[in-house]
């Protein structure tokens, strides 16, 4: 190879480097979907990136990261079924099938479907669905700057005084920003693998109230999670179903004692 190289000169990409992230990729599959090029790239860590090819002047857009195996598992091969839109990923002892059209994960909001920029998916007027299996709309602007507040009842959490607690908010998009709102106060997230966390080191009266986890991406906002915190009063008598018989017996005995005193 050194004396008789197959290539005389360097072969450079047409539009410059396609990926700029500091990742080590081991396998690649390429799919064409509705006029878009999608790259499927396996990582040394055992994950798979679904990447939307963009012009070189735009930043790389990773649509999703799949974790078919536990982290650290070496991927030995990948095979794409372009007709069924499924990716088969193998390790040394198993094969996993990845459905590339899992559009339901983007929810039932037009803006979230649009912001996913997933060419496998589209908006059918009701929810995000597979563009190959269902007729979808060509949406560029959903005209919905903010989602309507959820009508579900806000869960109330009772926390003992001075105790530690955390609130969890799922992160549905890693291209969005997340923060917590408590009254007029904005609190930034503590990021973890589980999602966006809000930590309370020692519960007191100032921590009581409603907390909202807010999602924001390209001008679109919505409430992802909402909780109401209340500090439990340990000195107050709480009448539970288990204590009701004892309470009634004590009340009856007290009533009999009063009758004996007066008669």
What's the pLDDT tens digit per position in 178-187? 999 999 899 8
Q: What is the pLDDT of residue 239?
A: 45
What is the arithmetic mean of pLDDT over 220-247? Answer: 69
Q: What is the pLDDT of residue 109?
A: 84
Average pLDDT, the chain: 81
What is the arithmetic mean of pLDDT over 4-13? Answer: 70
Half-sphere exposure of 55 (CA within 13 A, CB side): 2
- Mean pLDDT lowest for which of 219-223, 228-232, 243-247? 243-247
| CATH architecture of the domain with residue range 156-231 | Sandwich (2.60)
Report percent pLDDT > 90 for the chain: 40
Q: What is the pLDDT of residue 87?
A: 97
Would the pLDDT of 146 be above 60?
no
Q: What is the pLDDT of residue 141?
A: 64
Q: What is the pLDDT of residue 47?
A: 93
Q: 14: pLDDT confidence band, cut at 50, 70 and 90?
A: low
- Residue 208 contacts residue 230 (beta carbons within 8 Å): yes
What is the arithmetic mean of pLDDT over 205-227? Answer: 90
Q: What is the pLDDT of residue 35?
A: 87
- Mean pLDDT lowest for which of 89-93, 151-155, 196-200, 214-218? 151-155
Residues 104, 105, 111, CA angle at the centre, nearest 5°? 85
Tokens at 133, concatenated = 């299996």
Beta strand ranges found along the chain (DSSP E)? 25-33, 36-43, 48-52, 61-66, 77-81, 86-90, 95-99, 121-123, 128-130, 156-159, 165-169, 177-182, 185-188, 190-191, 196-200, 209-217, 220-231
pTM of the model: 0.67
What is the C-alpha to C-alpha distance for residues 113 and 126, in angstroms, rounded to an integer?
11
- Mean pLDDT lowest for which of 77-81, 89-93, 133-137, 211-215? 133-137
Would the pLDDT of 125 be above 90?
no
Would the pLDDT of 218 be above 70?
yes
Q: 98: pLDDT confidence band, cut at 50, 70 and 90?
A: very high
Q: What is the pLDDT of residue 237?
A: 43
How far is C-alpha 157 from the geometric centre of its chain's CA atoms?
A: 22
Q: 151: pLDDT confidence band, cut at 50, 70 and 90?
A: low
């Amino acid at each position: 190879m050194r004396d008789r190289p197959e290539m005389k000169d360097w072969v450079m990409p047409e539009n410059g480097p396609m990926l700029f992230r500091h990742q080590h990729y081991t396998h690649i599959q390429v799919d064409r979907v509705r006029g878009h090029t999608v790259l499927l790239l396996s990582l040394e860590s055992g994950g798979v990136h679904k990447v939307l090819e963009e012009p070189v002047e735009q930043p790389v857009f990773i649509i999703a990261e799949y974790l078919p195996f536990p982290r650290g598992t070496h991927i030995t091969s990948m095979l794409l079924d372009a007709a069924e839109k499924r990716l088969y990923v193998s390790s040394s002892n198993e094969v996993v099938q990845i459905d590339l059209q899992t559009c339901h994960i983007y929810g039932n909001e037009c803006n979230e479907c649009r912001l996913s920029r997933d060419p496998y998916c589209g908006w059918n007027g009701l929810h995000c669905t597979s563009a190959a299996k269902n007729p979808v709309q060509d949406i560029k602007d959903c005209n919905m700057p903010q989602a309507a507040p959820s009508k579900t009842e806000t869960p109330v959490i009772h926390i003992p005084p001075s105790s530690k607690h955390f609130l969890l908010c799922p992160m549905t998009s890693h291209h969005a920003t997340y923060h917590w709102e408590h009254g007029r106060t904005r609190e930034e997230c503590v990021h973890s693998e589980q999602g966006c966390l809000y930590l309370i080191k020692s519960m007191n009266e100032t921590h009581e109230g409603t907390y909202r986890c807010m999602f924001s991406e390209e001008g679109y906002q919505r409430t992802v999670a909402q909780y109401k915190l209340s500090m439990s009063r340990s000195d107050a008598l709480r009448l539970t179903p288990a204590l009701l018989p004892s309470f009634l017996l004590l009340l009856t005995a007290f009533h009999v004692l009063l009758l004996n005193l007066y008669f």
